[in-house]
Amino acid sequence: MRLLLGSLFALAVAAIVGLGSTYFALSRGAAFGPLTIGSWTAWPKSGTVDADPYVQASIARIGRLPTALGDGLAFTATSDDRGRPLDGRCEAVLSGVTPAARFWTLTLYNRDGELVANSVNRFGFTSQEIVRHADGSFEIVVAPRANAGNWLPTGGIERYVLVLRLYDTPVGVSTKAGREVPMPSVNVRGCP
Amino acid sequence: MIRWLLLALGGAVLGGIVHLATIIILPRTATQDAYSRLARNAPVDRVTPVPAPTPQAAPMPFMDPAFAVAVCRYDLSQGPLKLSVPVSLAYTSVSFYTRYDVAYYAINDRAAGRRVIELELMTTDQHNQMPEDEDITAADRLIVESPTLTGLIAIRALASEPGLMPMARSTLAAAKCTRQEPPTD
């Protein structure tokens, strides 16, 4: 009886630890070799054959196709430069320049990777659509209400994700730090 | 007391093994991964346009709405595949994925350097079986080796502004992926 109880206990611990850690790792998007610049994170290896099992498992679970490294690189932001979460009821400002790339796109998704409905049917910007300052820098306002200039509507959802995809870019596996790669800063302001 | 602690420790070690096993097995058992989602509407060896994502419905999560996308699902067991993609105005890329959504190769219009991206896809075995002289005479042929027999080719064309989307879509409509008949000798 004691033996049976003991093995059941050990198996229960194994199931909780094993499945719990798997769930935790996949929902947090844990993987090796992240490239973090400011509030932006990319996993350059996720688009190569060297993708580690954690990346592969999380890609399969989400059901997306990763951007191949020969095609481009996708940076994701879920919080601003000071660590405040991106809240669709607040106003956030992206400003600065992007790393060298032939094209880039910026897209706003909800946590599940779906586009967010809004009155003007704008889900993102491409590098060709943006209005820039004379020095080439730009400013994008991510806000629930209409703004002058480059306005990306949030639809008022609670949490959103910004994805900046660089296409045909030298930024990748060999890039170590943010010094040589200028990413736009993200700042939440004006939270009701 | 010691006995229960030891059991908990043993359970934790076993849990570590369970964790690693589930992580490794997950891509092979997932039924909602990108390949399975797209395979429902994509016949083998044919270029099929993928509907653009909208807030109401999207073929897969995290699709870039600025791109027109088409896929060709391939099965190399019957022979190599030939792919030709005309280049659109802004940016066109072709990415190759295995059955389990691992991107193993990608090329864009600039790297291809022509008006049409032309590629041949085959397994390593099929590449080795190719007559050598053929390999030399066609030195500018671009040959991609697939690590798996089945997989997915994603063709993407950028519409740098929404008005250019019809043009990007029509570019992809002219893309072709066709199976090459095995050489008869």
Q: How far is CA B178 from the centre of its chain?
A: 15
Question: Are residues A145 and A118 part of one domain?
Answer: yes
**Which of B23, B95, B106 is closest, CB to CB, to A57?**
B23
The strand pair at B176-179 and B143-146 is best described as: unpaired
Dihedral pair phi/psi, residue B34, rounded to 5°: -60, -40
CATH number of B34-54+62-179, picked from 1.10.10, 2.20.25, 3.40.50, 2.60.40: 2.60.40
Helices (H), chain B: 2-29, 34-39, 109-112, 124-129, 132-137, 165-173
How far is the C-alpha of A48 from the C-alpha of A73, rounded, in Å? 11
Q: CB–CB of B97 and A128 under 8 A?
A: no
What b/e sequence results for B145-169 when a residue is b if at least 16 CB atoms lie within 10 Å of its CB, and e otherwise? bbeeebbbbbbbbbbbeeebbeebb
Residue type, B30: A
pLDDT in tens, A101-148: 899 999 999 999 999 999 899 999 999 999 899 988 999 999 998 888
Question: Are residues A4 and A91 part of one domain?
Answer: no
ipTM of the prediction? 0.86
**Which of A10, A59, A115 is closest, CB to CB, to B54?**
A115
Question: Are residues A41 and A26 part of one domain?
Answer: no
Residue B9 Cα, gap to closest chain A Cα (Å): 8
Question: Are residues A69 and A23 part of one domain?
Answer: no
Q: Pick A174 or B117 by higher pLDDT.
A: B117
Question: Are residues A101 and A9 part of one domain?
Answer: no
Q: CB–CB of B101 and A163 under 8 A?
A: no
Q: Which residue has the tokens 């990763």?
A: A66
CB atoms within 10 A of CB A180: 12
Question: Are residues A135 and A90 part of one domain?
Answer: yes
**Which site among A21, A126, A157 would you substitute to test the B interface, given the most B Cβ atoms closer than 10 Å to its Cβ?**
A126
Q: Pick B156 or B129 by higher pLDDT.
A: B156
Question: Are residues A72 and A18 part of one domain?
Answer: no
Question: Are residues A175 and A83 part of one domain?
Answer: yes
Residue A3 Cα, gap to closest chain B Cα (Å): 10
**Which of A19, A65, A116 is closest, CB to CB, to B154?**
A65
Cα B128-B142-B140 angle, rounded to 5 deg:
105
Question: Are residues A132 and A43 part of one domain?
Answer: yes
State the total domains in chain A.
2
Question: Are residues A121 and A82 part of one domain?
Answer: yes
**Which site among B1, B23, B25, B167 would you substitute to test the A interface, given the most A Cβ atoms closer than 10 Å to its Cβ?**
B23
Question: Are residues A25 and A73 part of one domain?
Answer: no
Q: Where are the beta strands (DSSP E) in B25-78?
A: 47-50, 67-75
Question: Are residues A20 and A41 part of one domain?
Answer: no
Ramachandran assignment for B57, one of left (phi > 0), alpha (psi -120 to 50 degrees), beta (any other): beta
Length of chain B: 185
Q: What share of chain B is helix, strand, coil (3-state, %, to 5)?
A: 35, 30, 35
A97 reaches B (C-beta below 8 A) = no
pLDDT in tens, B106-153: 998 888 777 888 889 998 888 888 776 655 555 567 889 999 999 999
The strand pair at B92-98 and B103-108 is best described as: antiparallel
Q: CB–CB of A47 and B106 under 8 A?
A: yes
Residue B183 Cα, gap to closest chain A Cα (Å): 30
**Which site among A26, A67, A71 would you substitute to test the B interface, given the most B Cβ atoms closer than 10 Å to its Cβ?**
A71
Q: Say if residue B128 is exposed, middle or buried (CB neighbours under 10 Å; 0-12, 13-18, 19+).
A: exposed
Q: Which chain A positions have a beta carbon within 8 Å of B96's beta carbon? A: 68
How far is the C-alpha of A7 from the C-alpha of B114, rounded, in Å? 65
**Which of A7, A47, A64 is closest, CB to CB, to B60?**
A64
What does pLDDT average to over chain B? 87
Domain of A24 in residue numbering reads as 1-30
**Which of A10, A22, A65 is closest, CB to CB, to B101?**
A65
Q: Say if residue A73 is exposed, middle or buried (CB neighbours under 10 Å; 0-12, 13-18, 19+).
A: buried
- Structure tokens belonging to residue A119: 């009155």
What does pLDDT average to over chain A? 88
Q: What is the DSSP letter of B180?
A: P
How far is the C-alpha of B55 from the C-alpha of B138, rounded, in Å? 47
pLDDT in tens, B21-44: 999 998 888 888 999 999 888 899
A170 reaches B (C-beta below 8 A) = no
Q: Pick B175 or B184 by higher pLDDT.
A: B175
